[in-house]
Amino acid sequence: MKVKINLKEREFPAGTKFTQVVNLIREANKDEPVTKSLIEKTGQDHITFILNQRIIRPQEYNSIELKDGDDIRWIYPYAGG
């Protein structure tokens, strides 16, 4: 099945859970400066995950099975002011 992650299309087997993709994204970005800094300062990466324009809470990750055409976005928190 095809799923978009930050606008890039990826192939996943049927039955893939949202949490599996979250883990792949976290692993792929663990050495990014923003990720490293957030983990050093807070102990977490604080990445926000969005599925089909809906923010997904961490407690929901395991219960969501992805479908063909799903659109996943992830962002770092940024504060302005």
pTM for this prediction: 0.88
Q: Provide the domain count of the chain.
A: 1
Q: 65 and 42 in contact (C-beta within 8 Å)?
A: no
pLDDT class of 79 with cuts at 50, 70, 90: low
Residue 81 has pLDDT above 60, yes or no: no
- Asked whether residue 40 is domain-assigned, the answer is yes
Judged against a pLDDT cut of 60, whether residue 54 lies above it is answered with: yes
How far, in Å, CA of 61 to CA of 80, rounded?
28
pLDDT digits (tens, 9 = 90+) for 1-47: 999 999 999 999 999 999 999 999 999 999 999 889 889 999 999 99
**Average pLDDT of 36-65?**
94
The tokens for 8 are 């890039």
In a domain, 52, yes or no: yes
Domain enclosing residue 21, as ranges: 2-75
Domain containing residue 66: CATH number: 3.10.20.30
Residue 59: pLDDT band with limits 50, 70, 90: very high
Dump strand ranges (E) for the chain. Answer: 2-5, 8-11, 48-51, 54-56, 71-75
CA distance 8 to 63: 24
Measured in degrees and rounded to the nearest 5, phi and psi for residue 45 equal: -85, -20
The values of phi and psi at residue 78, to 5°, are -135, 140
